[in-house]
Amino acid sequence: MTRSVKTFRFAAVSAVKHAYVPEAVARHPRFDIVVVTDDADSPSWVHERNEKFAEQQGVPYVMGVEKAIEAFTPEVAVISSEAERHCDLGVRAANAGLHIVVDKPLSPSLDECNRLLDAVKNNNVKSLVWNRNFLPAVLQAKQVVESGELGDLVAAHCDFYFAKDAGPPKGTSLPAPINWLERQQDAHSDGSDGGVGIRALGELEIEGLYPLAYLRMLTNAPIRRVFARTATHFHQANVDNEVDDLATVTLEMDRGITGSLCIGRIGAASHPEIGEIKLHLLGTKGGIVISEPRPEVGFYYKGQSKHDYNNYRVANDNDYLLGDDFANAIDNNADTILDVEGGRDICAVVQAAIRSGRSNQAEEVTTKST
Amino acid sequence: MNLALNLPPPLEADYIAAANRLEEVSLVDEGEEFDAIVTNKVEVAQVAAQQKLHVLLHNREETDISSMNATQQEQGGIFMPAHSWRFRPDVQAVIRNHDVGNLGDPGLVRIHRWSTDHISSVDASTILPEIDLILWVFGKPHETAYVVGRGNNFLQVHLGFADDGMALVDYAWGVPAKYDSFTLIGGDGAAYADDHHNMNLLITDSPIQAIKTGQGTHHIYGLLQEFVTAITEARGPAVTAEDALLALKTSQSAIDCIVPAEVLK
């Protein structure tokens, strides 16, 4: 039996982070990886990781993004570089006419997000910012909201705590401040290098996109103003690099919807699983409390590694559905579940929250036109 | 110890049940001689306090707490504001772990409190329990507050404390069913007291339903036990007038700075 639908050739444009995004796209039947590429002047550790990933995927690694695009004529670029390079790579891919998939966060720089948004629009290409909106429990929340059972949504809250460590705990006496990039490189082996890059990123910047994408999808209401408290409470790397590992954000949205985000990388000891991740949605007729990891299956056995999670998520089609969503957007000139514009808006919320954490004042969220 | 009750019937029944569990307590009528009284009426409390009797007061009014505090200072009996929420078994479990240092320095208190009550107005006494819990955890007054409200149905209180502490409470009233969640995240660990974790399944002809396993009236028993123990040990109670007044002041300051949710339509 042959597949009748078109598949898209994609280039993995940098795969220096834990490569779950290009791996997920490569697993999808509508996408074929044809090359891994990155800028030739990247440091050696970047090339090493890219080469390793290319070898795993059985495709060439080409130093020089434009050179790879010209030689392999991909239709899609899947970008999983350091966050600070996401947008620049995305702009160049979009200008070459490629549709783009970008790992989260879109960028720590709102100007860069705006530049990429312009490039995507000007080149009329599709975009997808990697997210978790297709997790089964999140889809269940969406279904309940859309059913009208809750009435009009008036409040939406997300608690998003990752029970992970990030190097030495706060207060650890070290001979020198922790270098952010080196710490992230060390964390690559266990997949906790979500903030990989030269620029240090707080938890709001690294993971904030996930919960804010939930709330964006569920409320369909832009966030206009935020008030935030941010802190470094857990990890010495965050202290040394002056970025948050715990934050609370009050969200004021269109249609008078109020919400909140509590987010943190709160240490592996704080929860037996990946962390307590929840949605609390309240409407004029009722509310719903959603545990994001469900459905899951628990495993406990002799000799179990303490580094393993005891609960495994099951029936999780998030990656597959993201691929479907992106392919559908290209096929039918449709919107994706979270495009660059959405990623840009979330970046604006995160930046406003960081400003608020410093000013102790409510901060307006910067819109594209302003 | 002879204990008198002057309370409305449902609460009185809870106290009778709690008192029956305490060996050292004998319930007596208010007209008989008693050592201590539990009441929601400040005038009754004042009369008792003037006689150097001990008072557990179910009353959240700032003026009443203040006047009782003044009387207690003069007369010397034990006065304990009835912060029963501190004695909920789940809250007690969280605080015990906090107190012995298992969780490290507190970073965040997160509370979701959805109530079936329909209230006519949101005032300081309405939000007192959660604010009191937060202050209890951090052990100091807040530094910053940002509060968003919508009529008498919704309030979100966001507090900041020195040393990077923070607290966020979402209150909702008039919700079809009650729901509570209390999370404390510290530098070394976290505690989650969440109704969501304590649900069982009811399977009938209707769609499957979650039903909550409640905590009964343990909070009243715990509260009364602490009151009685403070008296018998001649020590200060676990909840003081200062605690109540600080919680009321903090609650009022939150109410005073409400930003209407509708403003950003």
**Residue contact A252–B259, C-beta within 8 A:** yes
Q: Are the C-beta atoms of residues B132 and B142 closer than 8 Å to each other?
A: no
What's the CATH code of the domain at B138? 3.30.360.10
ipTM: 0.95
B67 and B128 assigned to the same domain: no
Residue A63 has pLDDT above 60, yes or no: yes
Of residues B177, B33, B170, the one with CA closest to residue B113: B170
DSSP code for B216: T
Q: Are residues B118 and B165 in the same domain?
A: yes
What is the distance of C-alpha B127 from the center of its chain? 10
Beta bridge partners of A247: A230, A263
Question: Quick check: A158 pLDDT over 50?
Answer: yes
CATH class in words for A8-125 = alpha beta
Query: How far apart, in whole angstroms, are the C-alpha atoms of residue A276 and residue A290?
Result: 11
**How far is residue B247 from each of residues B81, B155, B226, B259, measured CA to CA in Å?**
11, 17, 20, 20
Number of domains in chain B: 2
State pLDDT tens for residues A297-308.
999 899 888 777
Q: What angle do CA A97, A78, A275 make, to 5 degrees?
A: 145
H or E segment and range at residue A340? helix A340-359
Say if residue B72's pLDDT is above 50.
yes
Written as one letter, the residue type at A327 is A
Cβ-Cβ contacts under 8 Å, A162 against chain B: none
Mean pLDDT of chain A: 95
- Among B63, B82, B101, where does a domain finish? B82
- For residues B76 and B119, membership in a common domain is answered with no
Q: Do A229 and B144 touch (CB under 8 A)?
A: yes
- Residues in A touching B188 (Cβ below 8 Å): 267, 269
What is the C-alpha to C-alpha distance for residues A138 and A144, in angstroms, rounded to an integer? 10
Q: Give the pLDDT band of residue A187 (cuts 50, 70, 90).
A: confident
Listed range (A1-15, A254-268, B34-48, B106-120) with the worst mean pLDDT: A1-15
- Spatial distance between the Cα atoms of B21 and A80, rounded to a whole number of angstroms: 63
- φ/ψ bin of B206: left (φ > 0), alpha (ψ from -120 to 50), beta (otherwise): beta
**Cis before A295? omega within 30:** yes
> Of A155, A233, A256, which has the smallest distance from its Cβ to B107's Cβ?
A233
Locate the chain B residue with the closest alpha carbon to A275: B190
Residue B149 bridge partners (DSSP): B155, B260
Average pLDDT over residues A360-366: 96
Q: Residue A143 has what pLDDT?
A: 98
pLDDT above 60 for B31: yes
Which residues 261-280 on chain A approach chain B with CB closer than 8 angstroms? 262, 264, 266-267, 269-271, 276, 278, 280
Question: Residue B202: which residues within 8 A CB-CB, separation 6 or more?
Answer: B208, B209, B210, B211
For B174-218, the pLDDT digits (tens) are: 999 999 999 999 999 999 999 999 999 999 999 999 999 999 999
Task: Tally the residues of chain A.
Answer: 370
pLDDT at residue number A369: 57
A291 reaches B (C-beta below 8 A):
yes
Asked whether residue B74 falls in the same domain as residue B150, the answer is: no
- pLDDT-derived band at A273 (thresholds 50, 70, 90) equals confident
Q: CB contact, 8 Å: B120 with chain A?
A: no
Is residue B15, in this structure, part of any structural domain at all?
Answer: yes
> B130 and B37, same structural domain?
no
Average pLDDT over residues A153-180: 94
Q: For residue B249, what pLDDT is reported?
A: 97
Find out whether A112 and A45 touch, Cβ atoms under 8 Å.
no
Residues of B in contact with A169 (CB under 8 A): 187
**pLDDT classification of B265: cutoffs 50, 70, 90:** very low
- The rounded distance, in Å, linking the Cα atoms of A36 and A59 is 7
Average pLDDT over residues A251-268: 96
Summarize pLDDT for A191-218 with one digit per residue, the tens.
Answer: 778 889 989 999 999 999 999 999 999 9
Confidence class for position A370, pLDDT limits 50, 70, 90:
very low
**Residue B152: Cβ within 10 Å count:** 15
Residues within 8 A of A (CB atoms), B 169-188 only: 170, 172, 175-177, 179, 181, 183, 185, 187-188
pLDDT of residue A64: 98
Domain residue limits, chain A = 8-125, 136-318+334-364
pLDDT in tens, A15-52: 998 789 999 999 999 999 999 999 999 999 999 999 99
The reply to whether B79 touches chain A by the CB within 8 Å rule is no
- Reduce the secondary structure of A58-113 to three states and give it as a string: CCCEEECHHHHHHHHCCCEEEEECCHHHHHHHHHHHHHCCCEEEECCCCCCCHHHH
Nearest to A360 among B144, B185, B263 (CB): B144
Same domain, B157 and B254: yes
Same domain membership, residue B24 and residue B54? yes
Interface of A with B in 127-156 (CB under 8 A): 154-155
Size of interface A-B (CB pairs under 8 A): 127
Whether residue B156 is found in the same domain as residue B133: yes
Chain A CB contacts of B179 under 8 Å are 287, 289
- What chain A residue is nearest to B162 in terms of C-alpha separation? A231
Residue range(s) defining the domain that contains residue B198: 86-215+250-264
Per residue in A209-247, pLDDT (tens digit) is: 999 999 999 999 999 999 999 999 999 999 999 999 999
Predicted local distance difference test score (pLDDT) of residue A311:
86
Q: What is the mean pLDDT of residues A293-319?
A: 89
Of B59, B82, B105, which one is at a domain's C-terminal end?
B82
Q: Are residues B53 and B161 located together in one domain of the fold?
A: no
Verify whether the Cβ–Cβ distance B108 to A248 is below 8 Å.
Answer: yes
Residue B263 is predicted with a pLDDT of: 53
Decide if B222 is inside a domain.
Answer: no
pLDDT number for residue A138: 98
Question: How does residue A186 score in pLDDT terms, banded at 50, 70 and 90?
Answer: confident
Q: For A279, which residue in chain B has the nearest alpha carbon?
A: B112
Is B240 contained in some domain?
no
Same domain, B90 and B72: no
Could you give the CA distance from residue B241 to residue B82 in angstroms, rounded to a whole number?
Answer: 10
Average pLDDT over residues B7-35: 97
Interface test with B, best of A219, A243, A248 (most B CBs within 10 A): A248
Q: A157 and B189: CB-CB below 8 Å?
A: no
pLDDT band at A114 (very low <50, low <70, confident <90, very high): very high
B140-154 average pLDDT score: 95
Provide mean pLDDT across the span A259-271: 95
At residue A190, the pLDDT reads 76
Does residue B245 belong to the interface with chain A, where contact is any CB pair within 8 Å? no
* Cα B102 to the center of its chain, rounded Å: 23
Share of residues in chain B with pLDDT > 70 (%):
99
**Inter-chain CB proximity A157 and B196 less than 8 Å:** no
Q: How confident is the model at residue A1 (pLDDT cuts 50, 70, 90)?
A: low
Are both B77 and B102 inside the same structural domain? no
DSSP secondary structure string for all residues of B114-141: E-S---S---HHHHHHHHHHHHHHH-S-
Residue type, B57: L
Please name the member of B150, B175, B188 whose beta carbon is closest to the beta carbon of A269.
Answer: B188
Residues B53 and B34 in one domain: yes
**Mean of pLDDT over chain B:** 96
Residue B109 lies in a domain: yes
Which structure tokens are listed for B92? Answer: 């007690």
Give residue-wise pLDDT tens across range A334-354. Answer: 999 999 999 999 999 999 999
> Which residues lie closer than 8 Å to A360 by C-beta, 6 or more apart?
B144, B160
Q: Between B54 and A303, whose confidence is greater?
A: B54
Q: How far apart are CA B50 and CA A85, in angstroms?
A: 73
Is A252 within 8 Å of chain B by CB?
Answer: yes
Structure tokens at A213: 């994408």
Assign domain A136-318+334-364 to its CATH superfamily: Dihydrodipicolinate Reductase; domain 2 (3.30.360.10)
Produce one character per residue of A314-342: b if its CB has 16 or more CB atoms within 10 Å, e if not: eebebbebbbbbbbbbbeeeeebbbbbbb
The CATH number that applies at residue B54 is 3.40.50.720
User: Quick check: B148 and A250 CB within 8 A?
Assistant: yes
